[in-house]
Amino acid sequence: MGKCRILDLFSGAGGFSLGFSQVEQCNILLSIDNNQKLSETYCKNFPHIQHLDRDISSFTSEEIQELQNTYHFNVIIGGPPCQGFSLAGKIGRREIKDSRNDLFLSYLEFVKIIKPQIFIMENVATLKRHNRGKTLNSIKSAFLDLGYILHVDILNASDYGVAQNRNRIFIVGTKNKGFNFPKKHNKKISIKECIDDLPPLKSGENSTISNHNAMVHSKQMLEKMSFVKDGCGRECIPNELRPKSGDIRKYIRYNSKEPSIPITGDMRKVFHYAQNRALSARELARIQSFPDNFIFYGNSIDIQQQIGNAVPPLLAKQIANQVRIYFDKTLS
């Protein structure tokens, strides 16, 4: 058994788990998430990891302590969904009992009872400026009250070998000094470098590669996307066909020479740089740095959300390596 005994909270499809499991001395012992739609994906890709399909806010203090008595965790990873940060300036305060804060408060309770040597919390980068910074300050205060040294930074996945511009905030708490975030890479990976070897597909066409199937586009959508050039957007579409409203991040074509835009749970109106279709789930998973042997289960919408909500495994792996180095320093 390795030095790092890890609990993965809000494990999702398993991006954090996959990255950490690829580093020597890092062992995911238990994962918890209450989304039944992704449990099949997680369990089939990590058959050796115990998984609980349960809301973490449903655990009593006694149940959390029982888990700790069984597994002896010294690392907690994962990030509460951003909805849990709705009441800025009041998070972690005893007088606040609001259901919108349950997820973060429950995460905090796990940290409080388990007392890991290190925890890593990931969330959207906009958390840093939410409510003029008060939300982040409240979160930091809650962890500082537990005696943790905090390391906070916004990491762009494209700086770590992931073919995607994806900014996320990482809040790391340690019992001792000695943790450092991973060093940035010198080279950026373009989306074309990442996915261009996959077989081309037409609208509605399937392939023999797992999760590499094209969605069916309407005739009207195919006409609109045919006008959009590599790296361009809706401005290329003739005025009479151009959508007049909606998300400005839609009706665009990926820039083949650059890392991808952030992968989210709905990429249906962002088009392949050279083919008239949205990207397949396998292409999206590649951009998130999932290997081709990691299979996603569910309907097409569920799968896109599983992929879009994941921590890129390649970034997670580099953070895990820093955790291993931290343990080598502090436990040697």
User: What are the residue numbers of the active site?
Assistant: 82
Among candidate residues 166, 193, 192, 180, the one with its CA nearest the CA of residue 311: 166
* Residue 161 to residue 186: CA distance in whole angstroms: 9
- DSSP symbol at 303: H
CA diameter of the chain: 68
Q: Tell me the three state secondary structure of residue 135.
A: helix
Question: Phi and psi at residue 17, in whole multiples of 5°?
Answer: -60, -45
Q: Where are the alpha helices (DSSP H) in the chain?
A: 15-21, 36-45, 61-71, 102-114, 134-144, 191-195, 219-226, 281-287, 300-308, 313-331
CA distances in angstroms from 311 to 67, 69, 173, 268, listed in the order given:
25, 28, 18, 20
Cα–Cα distance measured from residue 176 to residue 281, given in angstroms and rounded to the nearest whole number? 41
Please give the Cα distance from 61 to 143 (Å, whole number): 18
96-119 in b/e burial notation, b at 16+ Cβ within 10 A? Answer: eeeeebbbbbbbbbbbeebbbbbb
Strands of the sheet containing 4-9, edge to edge, are 50-53, 26-33, 4-9, 75-77, 118-124, 167-174, 149-156
Distance CA 199, CA 283 (A): 10
